[in-house]
Structure 1
């Protein structure tokens, strides 16, 4: 006879995997808006996402999480960090929006805790996350090719058209190319998910899988790569390339046999990147030069720096708690290098760290917060001893 706790644990695990699969979709309940800087924007929308509901439900069903004892420090400091952030809400200029933002951060932290649960296998979590990106990637290709995207309340999709003002496009004097949004609010957010998804495909190849599954991984990797190019997200491009170089160097030094396993996918990615980039008559750098002559390719405004934005919103004390929490997680990763799992953890963690210098969505939007929670939890789980055998 199956016990009730075991049944609840299985239900919770399936809810978490379902949440990871649906994480790219932005279906939500909007119950209000508030002004921000004198106007209405995405950052002033009061809403709860369907995925947040699944995450909270999974936690409520079984709040006592069985995790590796080495994670105790990160879990405890994480709760202290959440309390420090809550304290900053009461001194905010707009308490309503600040409280809404804190609730989203809390939801992301609960996702982080759920993923530390030993009953959730890293391989299954990575598979669910990557599989969930396939449909958005196909949608992204459709958007880039047709220059438009339909709206859907059920799927949380907004309408986009390359010829409409306000759409995120690559524009020259003669043409407007719609960047791939996928199912997200902005192509840069989509780019971040795709970069992490590509590393998940590499990690999936680490486990012993059948030839059919390996071919499937190559196909998914090619699709995600093509879509990553079509997002024209410079932050995601830079993060993926630099993190790949870092991981490749560590594998070359310590795991040359493992490096041979991922070389075929690496070659596929390079080919697809080059091929996709040639499909458009006006590549990104040419378009940027025509639109903004003399402007640096990677010029950004300071507001797009995640770390400066966090400092301005949380203050010194709140930011210090966040940094201490991240350092504690990083220490565990570095302590387990050069194990293959830890190398993979370092790669996906580095990708988000780099994106933080160029974009703010990892802090300001729910999809970004959820991505951070997923990546940080996976960095710990992938560094866990024995994960290669799971």
Structure 2
């Protein structure tokens, strides 16, 4: 007979593997000028259903297990809440920020949009809670997460070399070919290179999941080194290095600059820790050499598209047409954000309403020009105002202080990576796959290490 902890454990493993998949049902599908409008539509993902099942199952089991049968129900709830706050300060501070974000529904320019985004942020917090509450080993959860990311990476590599993303309504994947307008490509003088999507909505999002997977994998490699000894070779090292090569290859093929910046910052901190830590020094140098070899190999093999993406880092005449267009769109997004911010600088337009406010400001714009600003701090400032930005800063300050005080190395590394993501992209705040990724990774970052 399957025990309670097995149901919860297997369910969590399944959730970690399936989270990147975009299988969903459209509750409300909206459009602008006849074109689908992602940021105004309401959907339910298959993984959301699994998430809520696991959450309700954990709560039910906690409140009704035998050891509490003589304790009144209200006392059980009190104990659950007390445990929630005392043992997980990050959850407590995140809940404080979420509470203010929920209050923004009172003055939001689109209340139903705000309520929808409150659910999304709540789900990220619930994923974090499930991971920290789980009785499964941290190594097992990290390994399961890496397996899920490896599946997406292999899918992305296949897409790049076949230069097509095959659509699937079941997996929530739209067909993408490099000649179609609006598809993420790198355009050079010779051709258009389709970037790797995996099963996610955009290559930048796949890049974010891969960077998180690489960090989790490095944590597993360091853990095996500590357990086996500085120079002893665990039987898992070779498979881990092969998976590392797979993930790094897929990261290159996303051609994502924000993911590249996050990789350099996050993995750079982790490599430095590994090299200067006696028990992981050999593994750290091994990973550093492997990364250098793969970088040189792909730098030669994909010199043309990589160079094109590199010149697009700054707006200049040497950049290609699409890179100049991308730079212009990002700068235009910041100008739009400034205009929207000035309309209500104190309280903002309401959680999740940036694009709604933008449509009201420029109703004549086509759907492809109605995009969030590519910066999470900017979006928070516009949607939640000065007060919301202050609460966000306060929450992040206490989160970082907690990670440093408890010496949560994995949490610190993940925070560095996600800080880079947040500066250069918006999906960690605006899309389900990004919001839930934050919950997963911070759950890994604060959960206690296996003994």
TM-score of the superposed pair, with normalisation by structure 1: 0.88
Q: String of CA shifts for 1:111-166, please: whole Å, max 9, x gaps.
A: 11111115132212211111001221111111111211101111121111011111
Q: String of CA shifts for 1:251-300, please: whole Å, max 9, x gaps.
A: 444x1331212322332222223222332352322364341599699884
Q: Which residue of 2 aligns with 1:325?
A: 395
Q: Tell me, in whole angstroms, the C-alpha distance in 2 between the residues paired with 1:79 and 1:293.
A: 40
Contact 1:34/1:97, CA 8 A, preserved across alignment = no
Which of 209, 212, 216 does residue 239 from structure 2 map onto? 216
Which of 418, 431, 435 does residue 365 from structure 1 map onto? 431
Larger mean CA deviation between 147-156 and 33-42 belongs to: 33-42
Q: Tell me, in whole angstroms, the C-alpha distance in 2 between the residues paired with 1:37 and 1:306.
A: 27
Structure-2 change in CA distance of 1:318 and 1:37 (3 Å): farther
Which of 154, 169, 176 does residue 160 from structure 1 map onto? 176
Contact 1:111/1:373, CA 8 A, preserved across alignment = yes
Q: Tell me, in whole angstroms, the C-alpha distance in 1 between the residues paired with 2:149 and 2:242.
A: 13
Q: Which residue of 2 aligns with 1:291?
A: 320
Q: Which residue of 2 aligns with 1:346?
A: 412
Contact 2:89/2:402, CA 8 A, preserved across alignment = no
Which of 54, 68, 71 does residue 58 from structure 1 map onto? 54
Contact 2:101/2:118, CA 8 A, preserved across alignment = yes
Matches of residues 90-169 of structure 1 in structure 2 within 5 Å?
A: 90-169=106-185
Q: String of CA shifts for 1:159-218, please: whole Å, max 9, x gaps.
A: 110111110000023310001111110100000110111111110112337744221111
Q: Which residue of 2 aligns with 1:257?
A: 279
Determine whether 1:282 maps to 2:304. yes
Structure-2 change in CA distance of 1:116 and 1:67 (3 Å): farther
Where does structure 2 lack aligned partners over 5 or more consecutive residues? Answer: 63-79, 313-317, 335-372
Structure-2 change in CA distance of 1:148 and 1:38 (3 Å): closer
How far residue 242 of structure 1 moved from its aligned partner, in angstroms, is 2.0
SS in 2 for 1:356: helix
Q: Tell me, in whole angstroms, the C-alpha distance in 2 between the residues paired with 1:96 and 1:321.
A: 23
Q: Tell me, in whole angstroms, the C-alpha distance in 1 between the residues paired with 2:422 and 2:440.
A: 15
Where does structure 1 lack aligned partners over 5 or more consecutive residues? Answer: none
Determine whether 1:203 maps to 2:197. no
Contact 2:188/2:305, CA 8 A, preserved across alignment = no
How far residue 12 of structure 1 moved from its aligned partner, in angstroms, is 1.7
Q: String of CA shifts for 1:303-356, please: whole Å, max 9, x gaps.
A: 21111111211223333333323222211211133xxxx223211221011111
Q: String of CA shifts for 1:50-80, please: whole Å, max 9, x gaps.
A: 1111111111001257979863433333333
Q: Tell me, in whole angstroms, the C-alpha distance in 2 between the residues paired with 1:252 and 1:268.
A: 14
Contact 1:33/1:44, CA 8 A, preserved across alignment = yes
Larger mean CA deviation between 278-287 and 123-132 belongs to: 278-287
TM-score of the superposed pair, with normalisation by structure 2: 0.77
Contact 1:173/1:290, CA 8 A, preserved across alignment = no
How far residue 38 of structure 1 moved from its aligned partner, in angstroms, is 10
**Higher-Rg member (1/2):** 2
Determine whether 1:10 maps to 2:6. yes
Structure-2 change in CA distance of 1:250 and 1:31 (3 Å): same
Q: How many residues align?
A: 376
Contact 1:89/1:102, CA 8 A, preserved across alignment = no
Structure-2 change in CA distance of 1:183 and 1:238 (3 Å): same
Structure-2 change in CA distance of 1:296 and 1:176 (3 Å): closer
